[in-house]
């Protein structure tokens, strides 16, 4: 992999700039991460951050809503705004020559939004439509509910909010969320593409340097749920299964070994779960596992969609395969993981948007940037023995089981 050119700069108001120069491209991408995500929603107001992420772009500084959209469109900015658990993130990509004008507009959005009351209902309706679409997608619904029950509140709560809370959210709640959370303290800006480090640092100084810091909003206390088995009755011929268990978090020395273990379970059509649960036994129409987490806590989230008649066997066999991983791994399984990782790294190396997002995320989790060469080195160091050692040191345990279907299932008594 080519040598990456990365620099960081901490501004006096607490904002951190992370930059990566990619001189073989003509574009530049950015990720502006403001610590104002859904974990800062007030009780019974879950969805405030989501509404704010839309309303904040409906006019700012000298622009009304239409003028703002047109200004960004005229610069060719491909953009996205949204709330995650920890942040409200504004991301985009454009020609490198247009980055300065783009940042001037975003400085108005973040520092001087109109938050127009006459457009609040439209923003709230958009949030409602997003939540209703989840209700219509059984797989997505199952994973949202599994995350809710696998992670401590408020980290497990859906970042888009909750339907029951939306009617109670007012424009005053949204404005209060903005006033409380939108400050440069702990804000992260990631920029990647055809850039000059000194020029970008000066640009951020001009657009965000005068933004006054303020008291940082404290993260709310985490609340863990002792219950581990959940059932939601739904009269249907389908049953949707969610299974979660402990893993190491991002930044842990064994993170990439954990990634490989999950990749062997669920990395393509020759993975363990796909082969054993779907292909050999025909128990389900889809099955998958993914590694996810929050600062300091990692979990593996699994999903299987099946018929209600085969749901119990699907659950039993899936758990059996999760536990059986520690008994042995084939060399071909690990090599496929490495091949997928190499492909992903190469594609990431070519994407300014991917790099801007990755370097900003790295700073949030690690307070440093992991280069693609460092990731590649970690992947190449993986061996069967290392993965097996990981499965013995961190076996699948502390399970959370979720079932959505016509009847509850029996959870094996020998898992914990």
List pLDDT tens digits, range 275-298: 999 999 999 999 999 999 999 999
Is pLDDT above 60 for 86? Answer: yes
DSSP notation for 92-126: EEEEGGGHHHHHHHHHHHHHSB---GGGHHHHHHH
Model confidence at 240, in pLDDT bands (50, 70, 90)? very high
Is pLDDT above 70 for 1? Answer: no
Mean pLDDT computed over 177-186? 96
Q: Which residues contact 286 (CB under 8 A, 6 or more apart)?
A: 139, 278, 303, 304, 305
Tokens for 130, please give them.
């997003």
The answer to whether 46 and 173 are in contact (CB under 8 A) is no
Mean pLDDT computed over 261-283? 94
Q: What mean pLDDT value characterizes the chain?
A: 95
Mean pLDDT computed over 50-56? 99
CA 342 from chain centre, in angstroms, equals: 21
Is pLDDT above 90 for 65? Answer: yes
pLDDT at 164: 96
Mean pLDDT computed over 72-98? 98
The vertex-400 CA angle with 398 and 401, nearest 5°, equals: 140
Mean pLDDT computed over 93-104? 98
Beta-ladder partners of 30: 92, 191
Tokens for 366, please give them.
């690690």
Model confidence at 114, in pLDDT bands (50, 70, 90)? very high
Q: What is the pLDDT of residues 247-256, one digit of tens each?
A: 999 999 999 9
DSSP H helices, 216-324, are 255-265, 272-273, 311-324
DSSP H helices, 291-351, are 311-324, 331-349
Quote the CA–CA distance of 365 and 331 in Å, as a whole number. 32
Q: What is the pLDDT of residues 307-330, one digit of tens each?
A: 999 999 999 999 999 999 999 999
CA distances from 412 to 83, 230, 289, 324 (A): 37, 14, 19, 15
Tokens for 355, please give them.
């790099």
Structural domains of the chain ordered from first start: 5-208 (3.30.830.10), 229-405 (3.30.830.10)
Query: What stretch of H or E contains 16?
Result: strand 16-21
Mean pLDDT computed over 99-125? 98
């Amino acid at each position: 992999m080519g040598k990456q050119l990365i620099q960081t700069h901490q501004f006096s108001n607490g904002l951190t700039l992370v930059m990566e120069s990619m001189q073989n491209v003509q574009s530049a991408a950015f990720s502006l991460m403001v610590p104002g995500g859904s974990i800062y929603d007030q009780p019974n107001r879950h969805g405030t951050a989501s509404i704010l992420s839309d309303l904040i772009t409906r006019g700012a500084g000298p622009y009304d809503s239409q003028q703002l959209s047109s200004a960004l469109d005229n610069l060719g900015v491909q953009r996205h705004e949204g709330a995650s658990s920890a942040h409200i993130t504004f991301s985009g990509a454009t020609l490198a020559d247009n980055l300065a004008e783009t940042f001037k507009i975003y400085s108005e959005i973040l520092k001087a939004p109109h938050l127009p009351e006459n457009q609040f209902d439209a923003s709230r309706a958009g949030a409602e439509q997003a939540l209703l679409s989840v209700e219509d997608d059984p797989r997505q619904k199952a994973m949202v509910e599994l995350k809710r029950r696998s992670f401590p509140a408020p980290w497990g709560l859906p970042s888009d909010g909750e339907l029951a809370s939306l009617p109670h959210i007012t424009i005053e709640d949204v404005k209060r969320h903005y006033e409380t959370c939108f400050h440069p303290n702990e804000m992260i800006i990631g920029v990647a593409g055809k850039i000059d480090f000194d020029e970008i640092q000066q640009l951020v100084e001009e657009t965000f340097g005068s933004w006054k810091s303020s008291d940082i909003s404290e993260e709310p206390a985490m609340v863990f749920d002792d219950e581990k088995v959940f059932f939601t009755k739904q009269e249907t011929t389908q049953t949707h299964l969610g299974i979660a268990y402990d893993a190491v978090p991002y930044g842990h020395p064994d993170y990439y070994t954990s990634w490989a273990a999950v990749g062997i379970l669920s990395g393509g059509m020759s993975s363990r779960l796909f082969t054993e649960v779907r292909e050999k036994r025909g128990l389900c129409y889809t099955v998958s596992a993914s590694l996810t987490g929050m600062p300091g806590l990692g979990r593996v989230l699994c999903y299987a969609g099946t018929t209600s008649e085969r749901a119990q066997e699907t659950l039993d066999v899936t758990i059996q395969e999760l536990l059986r991983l520690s008994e042995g791994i084939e060399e071909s399984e690990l090599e496929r993981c490495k091949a997928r990782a190499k492909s992903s790294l190469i594609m990431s190396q070519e994407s300014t948007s991917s790099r801007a997002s990755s370097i900003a995320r790295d700073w949030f989790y690690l307070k440093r940037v992991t280069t693609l060469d460092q990731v590649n080195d970690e992947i190449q160091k993986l061996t069967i023995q290392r993965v097996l050692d990981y499965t013995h040191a961190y076996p699948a345990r502390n399970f959370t089981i979720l079932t959505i279907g016509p009847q509850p299932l029996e959870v094996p008594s020998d898992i914990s």
